[in-house]
Structure 1
Amino acid sequence: MGADHTHPAPPTPPGVRRLLVAVVVPLFVITVIAALVLWPRQDREPVGGADVPRYHGTVTRVVTEPCPPTPEAPDGGGGPCGTVTVTAEQGPDAGRQVETPIPAGPGAPRVAVGDEVVLVELTDPADPAVKSYNIAEHQRGTPLIWLMVLFAAAIVAFGRWRGLAALGGLVASFAILLGFVLPGIGAGQPPLLVAIVGAALIMFVVLYLTHGITAQTSVAVLGTLGSLVVTGVLGLLATSATHLTGFGSEDATTLSMFQGDVDLHGLLLAGIIIGSLGVLDDVTVTQAATVTELAHANPGLSRRQLYRAATRVGRAHIASTVNTIVLAYAGASLPLLLLLVADSRPVSEILTSEFLAQEIVRSAVATLGLIAAVPLTTGLAAIVTTAGRRSRGAEPAAPAARPPAGRDDALEALGGGKSTEAAW
């Protein structure tokens, strides 16, 4: 996220620093106060009934056999059928061999000898003393831990101290999401407001932790915060104009069954805000760094020249990032897209249906907020940079443009002497 500097940026004048502090600090205080007001005061009671006991075990034997006939499959073609022997590692039968049926059905895990699995203990409603086990899924803890270790080691090895700071920012982001945003929405607070406050908290912590407390980072913070507000307003207008309810996915419908007081329309807006934050951080930090580096490389550039040059960089960045956003949403919605291919309805009806219109609005709003971040952040960075320059003295004039060299001059500079074609 962002870019490193080859040379240190010139020090920011005291007047500019005071102005940035006077703007950023009140915004941070307001964010913290809003988070305290919206912080969930009590834990919700778990929904969906009592948890089924789950224990770890290792598969020691798998026996397959023909499936018995059923009305749906008279020839016994269903399956797979058979038994799995598992050595229980936890629970009342720890150390013993227990038998379970081979997992069957859509999404059922495929097991083999040596697999580490998760067992669920089932109780017979008619006789609570009778218990049985089923295999729920594979144990994934160890592979995930090794993947996270590799992930962290690669970031620290490449980014060094900045990579370590980035890992700290990532931990802080998940802490805010899991400790404030999700519990706040679950407690019935307005999802859009909780998402904006949570995104602002993440932004303050991550940007300053990763990039340091500098004027350049403060510009990126202001640009990100302004773009988040634009994204939230656009999302509210777009979802209202398209009459989206938030019931565009099976997950949302299931959530409404277990927790009926959740505002799914607000939850949709919250998802747009949170999903946009990571890309916004990247764009705003890059634009602020671009302006700083251009001014450092060529102190003669005026405010307008800095803005134009950095905006050209921003256009190239946006052109690639827009495709990234759309592909990210498409990758997360591949089952939905496959369902659309199999749908027999006209294309116009499919595109305007709730579940696809939701994805279109999500992508379009995130892209519009991203585009707004470029001129906003670039303008702020240009103002801060040139204000600092004037405070140190008169702004140097831009170097006079050199008249274009003629062909003979160019050849002479290359060592080829003057052209003899002029004689022709």
Structure 2
Amino acid sequence: MPHSHLPTVPAPDEAPTDPAALRVTAARARVWLAAVLGPVLLLTLVGAWWLWPSAGARPPVLDTTGPGVTYTTGEITQVRPDATGMDQAAARLADGEVVDLHVPPEYVPEVVVGDRVRVAAMSTADVGDLTDVTVQPTLTTTYLFVDFERGPPMLLLAAVFAGLVVLVARWRGLAALVGMGAGLLVVGVFTLPALLQGRPAVPVALVTSVVIMYAVLYLAHGVSVRTSTALAGTLVGLVATAAIASWASGSAHLTGLSGEYALDLMSAAPEVRLRSVLLCGMVLAGLGVLNDVTITQASAVWELHAARPGSTWRELVGRGMRIGRDHIASTVYTIVFAYVGAALPLVLLVSLTDRGLLGVLSSGDIAEEVVRTLVGSIGLVLAIPVTTVLAAVLVRRSATGTTARPDDGHGDAHGDDPDGPTPGTRDTDRAHHPRSGEGAADADRAQVSS
């Protein structure tokens, strides 16, 4: 039989065993991801340039004070619940002056001595002075309770949260906080001004989401094939979510007028399309959960491959989807009850009506929450199998230190982990799987290079 000099091509379910071949397939995996994610990023940046809000077209800033009204802070020094009228409290203002404070009846039970509150000082002139132009008006200042001062406890909670994230997750936690800040900056600088100027909702939502995901994922999890796989799955989920949200909002006749501030927003910024705000909110609402499931699913497949490096991609998909089904089951009801908790006062109010369950669910406010929940859940469910399949295909081509022997414990358990190997892992592996000779040295060098 004639001898063939053609290179051996591994079958689809076989992983290459030669370190040089492994490095070639790893490079191909990175090139494939770059060929997909690079143009997506470029298209996103072009979209951001096209949708970028004009500097001079922003609606005027609303004056929330009114003539003769100033805001200050104070501390409650006395509570008089039995007082007539509205003089139920006294407060020491920031300048040290103690004044009587008018407190609305619904807030009286909540106000106690020592509370920090926001106070509106309203200066009014006597009616008689206003009718006599020869007399300088005598101004009378009335102090009204506006709200509680919640800044200190909220800052404390934020500090505790950030401290715990950094303490537990260390540098990765710090990177996640930086990514979260970058995402909020994108929303403040681009998304809100674009919506205020009437830009189309779906492109604005997609540009915002893609930019945030690139920043958050790579900052929090590092630049790797694993992270890029999760990003690709997230992008598929985002596109599906945006498409379904666009169809559902039109089919269900969701106008965005049911919200508490809809009419105020229309009067303050006539260019705003309330349905656009609703659509953009649907896409952004599921962003965090979608990111969570895709990065977790990609990591699960990577760890499955590390445990059994000889697994075929079909086996990895099967095992990964078993994990994914559990993730779907837990995440879906998490989303549902998160929305129920956020809209609980509205749910209580609607439950008091004499309408049936279907009538309640199809009412404006409730329907928006139901559609938002279903749209986010559908995008999440679609992203999990896509991410699992991508991860199963790419992990076997990106793990440059993997050998193809099922019984060999030296898979690339950490080759694509931004945090690096767990201390002592490789020494422990060598103790359980002793090797010698040039082949072992080559495998070790390949493992270190990964």
TM-score, length of structure 2 as denominator length = 0.77
Choose which of 203, 208, 213 in structure 2 pairs with 1:193: 203
For the residue of structure 1 that corresponds to 2:275, the secondary structure is helix
* Residue 77 of structure 2 corresponds to residue 60 of structure 1: yes
Q: Indicate the residue corresponding to 2:412 in structure 1.
A: none
Relative to structure 1, the CA distance from residue 139 to residue 161 in structure 2 (aligned partners, 3 Å threshold; closer, same or farther) is: same
* Residue 92 of structure 2 corresponds to residue 87 of structure 1: yes
Relative to structure 1, the CA distance from residue 124 to residue 377 in structure 2 (aligned partners, 3 Å threshold; closer, same or farther) is: same
For the residue of structure 2 that corresponds to 1:250, the secondary structure is coil
CA separation in 2, counterparts of 1:294 and 1:336?
Answer: 45
Instruction: Give matches, 1:36-185, under 5 Å.
Output: 36-42=49-55, 43-47=58-62, 50=65, 52-67=69-84, 81-89=86-94, 94-101=95-102, 103-106=103-106, 110-124=110-124, 129-185=139-195
Residues 55-90 of structure 1: CA deviation (Å, up to 9, x unaligned): 11222233344546xxxxxxxxxxxx434322221x
Relative to structure 1, the CA distance from residue 107 to residue 347 in structure 2 (aligned partners, 3 Å threshold; closer, same or farther) is: farther
Indicate the larger mover: 214-223 or 244-253.
244-253
Instruction: Give matches, 1:15-414, under 5 Å.
Output: 15-42=28-55, 43-47=58-62, 50=65, 52-67=69-84, 81-89=86-94, 94-101=95-102, 103-106=103-106, 110-124=110-124, 129-388=139-398, 396=404
Relative to structure 1, the CA distance from residue 292 to residue 65 in structure 2 (aligned partners, 3 Å threshold; closer, same or farther) is: closer
For the residue of structure 1 that corresponds to 2:257, the secondary structure is coil
CA separation in 1, counterparts of 2:315 and 2:331?
Answer: 24
Corresponding letter in the other structure for 1:119: V
Relative to structure 1, the CA distance from residue 211 to residue 353 in structure 2 (aligned partners, 3 Å threshold; closer, same or farther) is: same
What is the Cα deviation at residue 221 of structure 1?
Answer: 0.8
CA separation in 1, counterparts of 2:264 and 2:93?
Answer: 32
Relative to structure 1, the CA distance from residue 370 to residue 107 in structure 2 (aligned partners, 3 Å threshold; closer, same or farther) is: farther
CA separation in 1, counterparts of 2:62 and 2:87?
Answer: 34
Residues 85-123 of structure 1: CA deviation (Å, up to 9, x unaligned): 22221xxxx23222222x114456832332222111223
CA contact (8 A) 2:59 2:269 kept: no
CA contact (8 A) 2:226 2:395 kept: no
CA contact (8 A) 2:176 2:220 kept: yes
Residues 310-344 of structure 1: CA deviation (Å, up to 9, x unaligned): 11110110000000000001000001110121111
Corresponding letter in the other structure for 2:324: G
Corresponding letter in the other structure for 2:93: A
Corresponding letter in the other structure for 1:36: W
Corresponding letter in the other structure for 1:348: L
Corresponding letter in the other structure for 2:147: E
What is the Cα deviation at residue 397 of structure 1?
Answer: 7.4
CA separation in 2, counterparts of 1:301 and 1:18?
Answer: 23
CA contact (8 A) 2:197 2:271 kept: no
What is the Cα deviation at residue 191 of structure 1?
Answer: 2.6
Corresponding letter in the other structure for 2:385: P
What is the Cα deviation at residue 346 of structure 1?
Answer: 2.8
CA contact (8 A) 1:310 1:378 kept: yes
Relative to structure 1, the CA distance from residue 107 to residue 233 in structure 2 (aligned partners, 3 Å threshold; closer, same or farther) is: farther
Instruction: Please provide the CA RMSD for this pair.
Output: 2.4
Q: Indicate the residue corresponding to 2:3 in structure 1.
A: none
Identical-pair percentage: 37
CA contact (8 A) 1:248 1:356 kept: no
CA separation in 1, counterparts of 2:235 and 2:287?
Answer: 9
What is the Cα deviation at residue 46 of structure 1?
Answer: 1.4
CA separation in 2, counterparts of 1:359 and 1:58?
Answer: 39
CA separation in 1, counterparts of 2:177 and 2:64?
Answer: 37
Corresponding letter in the other structure for 1:96: E
Q: Indicate the residue corresponding to 2:26 in structure 1.
A: 13
CA separation in 2, counterparts of 1:50 and 1:138?
Answer: 17
Corresponding letter in the other structure for 1:59: I
Q: Which runs of 5+ in 2 are unaligned?
A: 1-21, 131-136, 408-450
CA separation in 2, counterparts of 1:131 and 1:197?
Answer: 49
Residues 19-57 of structure 1: CA deviation (Å, up to 9, x unaligned): 222221221122222223222222321136555421112
